[in-house]
Each structure stands twice: as C-alpha cells, then as structure tokens.
Amino acid sequence: MARRTGRRPGNPGTREGILDAARTAFAERGFDGASIRAIAAAAAVDPALVHHYFGTKDQLFLAAMNAPFDPRELLPKVLAGDRESIGERLVRLFLGLWDSPAGTAGVALLRSALSNEWTARLLREFLTTQVLRRVLDNLDVDPAELPLRGSLVASQLIGLAMMRHLIRLEPVASAAPETLVTMIGPTVQRYLTGPLPTPPPPV
C-alpha cells in the first residue's frame, strides 16, 4: 500500500540521537554555551531538523532533561502581582507542582541528580537558566546579587521537596500547603529581595 503522506517519517533513532547530543552538550558546556548548530553536528543532522522536532533551544533543553514542567508557562503567575508577596507565590506554585503528577517526574530527576553528575549539571542549568533567571530578572535587584539570591532560594525549595516527598519527615510531609506557604514564603522573599550581607573584609 502506498504511503499517503508526503512527509518523511525520518529515522526513529534521529529524535533520540538529537536528545543524546543535546544532553551531552548542555551538561558539558551549559545552557548558554551549547548551540543548536553544535548539537545538530554532533547528532549528524541538519540544524533545521532540530528546530523542526523540538522548537527553540529552551524547548530542546526541557525535552533533553525530561523537565517535569515548563517554567515559561508557570512563572508568569508568580511574577504577576506585588513584589512583596512573590516569595509566597513561588512557594505555593512549587508545592502545587510537586503535589501534581509533575512531582513524580521531579522525584525521579532529583534522585538521578544525586547519583549522576551529568544529571546534576543539567538540573543546575535548569534551575539557573530556566527558573531562577526568569524570576530574578523581574525583580528590581542588583544583577550581581542574582546568583547568590537564586541559589539560596533553590536551597530552601529543594530542601522542602526533599523533606516532603523523598525523606518524608513529618509534619512537613503532609502539612497543608498554606501552612508551608506561611512559614517558608517569607524565607524565599527575604532571599529574593532582602538585604544581602556585605562581603567580609579580606583577611
């Protein structure tokens, strides 16, 4: 029977080949340092095919790391609203994600990041370039402070996910989300917009 569509089916291994090359490139060179052109070359395909399959570099990155959610869809909710309660909104969004089916993928990603240096690098790049950079670019803080603020927020939120979903320490494991929002929201707010310590004087 004649094939009725004119579209090339492509090699079923091509998609996986591109994802493999992307994982290598993002882990070795970081999100900013990896180019679609270099990924395509490593996968021995045309860059246009990478765009055809995956869209933008952001989308390719999310696919390569099996990201449990797309921050570009969710973060606008956090960023809308007043600056003084962004910490609470970020914690509320974070808890909602982990309590949803995306949380299962999150647990798998976190486990993998802890036993596999490449997954750890991809998770770092994900947190930095896809989540924290987007949040912090919208706050009116000194850009030089963004990395420290971002990694402090990550330390609290990843610790919360660990205790609630992996270690399952009570009562955090089964506390009502709003209890945690009330307690942890101000922490995240302070890390985002509060004063940072002045650097200690050189010894």
Listed in sequence order, the residues at least 6 apart from 176 whose beta carbon sits closer than 8 Å to its beta carbon are none
* Residue 27 interacts with its own copies (CB under 8 A): yes or no: no
- Residue 141 interacts with its own copies (CB under 8 A)? no
93: contact with its own copies by CB under 8 A = no
Q: Give the position of tokens 């390719």.
A: 60
CB 165 within 8 A of CB 106: yes
**Residue 115: its H or E element:** helix 102-115
Q: Does 85 bind its own copies (CB under 8 A)?
A: no
In the complex, the smallest distance separating the C-beta of residue 109 from its own copies, rounded to whole angstroms, is: 11
Task: Name the segment binding its own copies (CB under 8 A); options: 55-63, 64-72, 113-121, 133-141.
Answer: 113-121
User: Does residue 46 come out as left (phi exceeding 0), alpha (psi in the -120 to 50 range) or beta?
Assistant: beta
How many C-beta atoms surround the C-beta of residue 2 within 10 A? 3
d(CA 176, CA 108): 23
Choice between 61 and 191, CB closer to its own copies: 191
Binding mask 172-201 for its own copies (x = CB under 8 A): xx-xx-xx--xxx-xx--xx----xx-xx-
Residues binding its own copies (CB under 8 A): 110-111, 113-115, 120, 123-124, 127-128, 147-148, 151-152, 154-160, 162-164, 166-173, 175-176, 178-179, 182-184, 186-187, 190-191, 196-197, 199-200
